[in-house]
Amino acid sequence: MSRNEWPLWEIFIRSQHGLAHKHVGSLHAPDAEMAVKNARDVYTRRNEGVSIWVVKSEDITATAPGDKTPLFDPAASKVYRHPTFFPMPEGVKHL
């Protein structure tokens, strides 16, 4: 059954120039050209996009939910990466 199903694609739409593509959902299509056409029909009926990316779902590598802690914990303890860690004196400009 799955051998005859159209592969799954993840769809990313950029809504305006200068903004990043955003993941909007997925759809099935036999190839990239159909995926783009279908994405246009399913996800941009109200002028939502100026650009479409389609990526086969199997080509996406994602982190596992269980990896959250080891992957992201180190960032939590490095508060000096934020400018607010360094209060600047009142009189000093442009810092």
- Contact set with other proteins (CB under 8 A): 1-2, 4-6, 8, 24-28, 30-31, 34, 41-43, 45-46, 62, 64-65
Nearer to other proteins, 22 or 88 (CB): 22
Shortest gap between Cβ of 93 and other proteins (angstroms)?
A: 43
E strand segments, the chain = 8-14, 22-28, 51-56
CB of 90 to other proteins, least distance (A): 40
Tell me, rounded to whole angstroms, the distance of Cα 80 from its chain centroid: 27
27 or 54, CB closer to other proteins? 27
Count of CB atoms within 10 A of residue 28's CB? 13
- Find the farthest-apart pair of alpha carbons in the chain and give their distance in angstroms, rounded: 71
Q: Least separation, in Å, of the C-beta of 71 and other proteins?
A: 14
Q: Which two three-digit tokens encode residue 21? A: 């593509």
